[in-house]
Chain A
Amino acid sequence: MLAFIIRRIGQSILVLLIVGLVAFSMFNFVGDPIDNMLGQERTAEDIERLRIQLGLDQPFPVQYFKFLQEAVQGNFGVSYRQGRPVAEILLERAPATLELAAVSGILAIIFGIALGVFTAIRRNGVLANIVMSASLIGVSLPTFLIGILLIYVFSVELGWLPSFGRGDVVDLGWWRTGFLTESGLKALILPSITLGLYQMTLIMRLVRSEMLEVLRQDYIRFARARGLKDRAVNFRHALKNTMVPVITVIGLQLGAIIAFAIITETVFQWPGVGLLFINAIQFVDIPVMAAYLMLISVMFVGINLAVDILYFFIDPRLRADRAGGH
C-alpha cells in the first residue's frame, strides 16, 4: 500500500513537470506582457531593460527552470499587473473558488447518485423516464448558457437571487467564507447549480448504466433468491458494486469542476481564481497564469491519487493483489 502510494506520487510529480513545460511553451504565443506594462512613451531601451529584468529574453525552457527553482521554495513571483506576490493573490482568491466547487461537487454527487439509483431501479417508471429525458438538457447545454438562463429567470424576472458576486463574506483570518451570511449563501445558489449541473447529469447517467449492469449479475440474482429485502439488494449489494467504476469518474469530475469554474466565475463575476486567470490572460500576466495552471494540475493529480487510494477501501480484490495475493 505504502509502496503503491509512493509510486503514484512519483508519477504525479512527473505529470506536473510535463504540464508546466507545456504551459510555458505556450506563454510565448499569448502576447507580449511588455506592451501592457509600459505606457505609450516607452523607448527601445526601456523595453529591453524590462525584458531582461523579467527574464523574458531567455528561451522558455530556461524560464521554466527558473520558475520551478523559485516555486519549490514557495515563491511564485510577482504579478505583472498588480505588483503583488502571486501566492498572496491566489490565497486570497482560492476560498471563493473552493467554496463554489465544494458546493457544486456535493450537489452533483448527492443528486447524481440518488437520481441514478432511482432511474436504474424504476427503469420503466414514468418519473424515471422524465428524469432521464430532462438529464439530456444538463448534458447538452453549455455551462455559460445555463448560467445566463438562470440569471434571466431567477435574478432578472423573479428577482429572488443575486446575479453576480459573492455577497457578504466573513473574514476568518486566513479564509474568507460566504457560508456564514445570508447574502453569501444566496449568492452561492445560482453559480453552484450552473457549475454542478453538467457533472450531476453525467454522474446520474453513469450510475444508472453501471447499476443496470450490476443488477443483471448472478450475485444479485442469488441475493434475491435468498429472500433479501429489495432495499438490501439494491443498496447493500448493487450500489456498492456500482460505485467502483463511478468513483473514478467522480474523481475526474471534481478536478473538472475546479478547472471549469473559469466559465461560471466569468458569467457570475465570482471573485475566484478562475476569474483571476481570465483577467491574467488578457494582461499576459505570466506569473499568475503559471501559478494557476500548476495549482489546477496539483488539484487534479491530488484528487486522482485520493481516488486510487479509495479503491483499496472499496474493493478487497485490489488489497489482496497488492499484498502479494493468492
Chain B
Amino acid sequence: MVEPVLSLRNLSVEIPTRHGIVKPVDGVSYDIGAGEILGVVGESGAGKSMAGNAVIGLLNPPAHIAAGEIWLKGSRIDNLTGEAMRRLRGKEIGMVFQDPLTSLNPLLRIGDQLVETMLTHLDISQSDAEKRAVSALEEVGIPGAAERVNSYPHEFSGGMRQRVVIALALCAEPSLIIADEPTTALDVSVQAQIIALLRRLCRERGTAVMLITHDMGVIAEATDRMAVMYAGRLAELGPVRDVLSHPQHPYTHGLMASTPLASAGKSRLHQIPGAMPRLDSVPEGCAFNPRCPYTTEKCRQAPAPRPESTSAACWYPLAREKAS
C-alpha cells in the first residue's frame, strides 16, 4: 500500500480551562493519500478546524496536542520545534482560510505576497519568483494575471480573492492542503467554481486535501472520502458514496435525513433531537448517546469503538441496506 501523505494517529487536542480540561479533538485517526480529498464534516465546535490547526502547528495557546501522532509523508511532525514546523508550513502544508476578504494583507500587492512566500521556501531568484507568481495566478484562473499581479487585494472580488488565496497556498507546491471552510463566505455561484478549481489543481499535482466544511453539498461534489466528527470524536469514516447513501452511524444518518431535498416537497424537515454537548460536559460512553434513538445501557457506559479505515464509531452500526 502506498504511504499516505497525512496520517493522524489517535490525535487529541486539549485546552486547560478554569473548569477543567476540555478535549476539542479526542482520539481522532485518519489518513489522506496523495491526490485524495478527504472531507471533514461536523457541526460548529465538533473539532474539525481544531484538528486542521493541529496539523499545521497553529493551535492558539493554551490549546495543545496532548496525545497521538501526526505523520506527514512518513515523518512525524507533531513533536517538531517552532522553527522546524515553520519551514513545513507553506512548503509542505498549505492552508486556505474561510474568509478571503480578510486573509490577504490589504497593504501589500498580491504579487509581493506570492513572491515573498516563494522566496521563503524555494531556492529561486527574485525574477524567477516574479515569473512564477504570474503563472500561479494564471493557474488559478485570474484573467490578465500579468497585470493583476500588481494589484492590491481590495481590487479583487471575493471569489477572485479566494483564487489568490489558493494560489498563495499552492505556490510553494505543498503536498498537503488544509482548506478550512474555503467556500462558506462565498456566493453560491462562486462556491462551485472554487471547489472545482481546488479539485483540479490537487488532482493535477497529486496534492492531498483536507477539506473542512459543514456543507454536505460540497462534500458530495468534491471529496473522495469523508470523516464525520461529533464532539471532538470521529463518528464515521468511509468513501463518500457509501457514507452518504448508507450511513452506518446514527448521527450521520440523522445529518443526512435533515438535509433538505428539492424532491421532498414541503414535508417537514427531519431534525436530530437535542444539541451537541458542550465540550466540558461530553457524556460518558458514546458522546452521541443522549440523542441517539438506538441507545442501550452499553452506549451509556463504554465509549464506542473507534472506526478503522471504513466504519462507524458505534456499537450498533446501522446495517448497510445493500452490499456496495
Interface residue ranges, A against B (CB under 8 Å): 217-219, 221-230, 232, 236-237, 240-241, 244, 314-317, 320, 326
Given A227-B121, A232-B120, A320-B155, does the pair A219, B106 have CB atoms closer than 8 Å?
Answer: yes
Apart from the given pairs A221-B103, A236-B116, A317-B154, 9 other A-B contacts in the complex at a CB distance below 8 Å: A217-B102, A225-B90, A226-B95, A228-B117, A228-B120, A232-B120, A240-B108, A314-B107, A320-B154
Interface residue from B87, B90, B106 paired with A317 (Cβ < 8 Å): B106
Q: Considering the chains assembled together, what is the distance between the CA atoms of A225 and B152 in angstroms? A: 20
Interface residue from A222, A230, A236 paired with B95 (Cβ < 8 Å): A222
* Residue B320, interface by CB 8 Å: no
* Residue B168, interface by CB 8 Å: yes
Interface residue from A221, A229, A241 paired with B58 (Cβ < 8 Å): A221
Report the contact-size class of chain B (Cβ under 8 Å from the partner). Answer: 20 to 34
A184 to chain B, nearest CB (A): 41
Cβ–Cβ < 8 Å partners of A218 in chain B: 97, 99, 102-103
Q: Considering the chains assembled together, what is the distance between the CA atoms of A74 and B97 in angstroms? A: 61
The residues in B between 113 and 167 inclusive whose CB is less than 8 angstroms from any CB of A are 116-117, 120-121, 152, 154-155, 165
Interface residue ranges, B against A (CB under 8 Å): 56, 58, 86-91, 94-95, 97, 99, 102-108, 116-117, 120-121, 152, 154-155, 165, 168-169, 172
Cβ–Cβ < 8 Å partners of A228 in chain B: 90, 116-117, 120
Q: Considering the chains assembled together, what is the distance between the CA atoms of A194 and B87 in angstroms? A: 46
Given A314-B107, A320-B154, does the pair A225, B116 have CB atoms closer than 8 Å?
Answer: no
Taking CB as reference atom, which chain A residue is nearest B112? A236
Given A221-B58, A228-B120, does the pair A237, B90 have CB atoms closer than 8 Å?
Answer: no
Is there contact, CB below 8 Å, between A221 and B97? yes
A237 to chain B, nearest CB (A): 5
Cβ–Cβ < 8 Å partners of B87 in chain A: 227
Cβ–Cβ < 8 Å partners of B117 in chain A: 226-228
Taking CB as reference atom, which chain A residue is nearest B152? A316
Taking CB as reference atom, which chain A residue is nearest B118? A226
Taking CB as reference atom, which chain B residue is nearest A228? B120
Interface residue from A225, A241, A315, A317 paired with B89 (Cβ < 8 Å): A225
Taking CB as reference atom, which chain A residue is nearest B155? A320
Is there contact, CB below 8 Å, between B103 and A219? yes
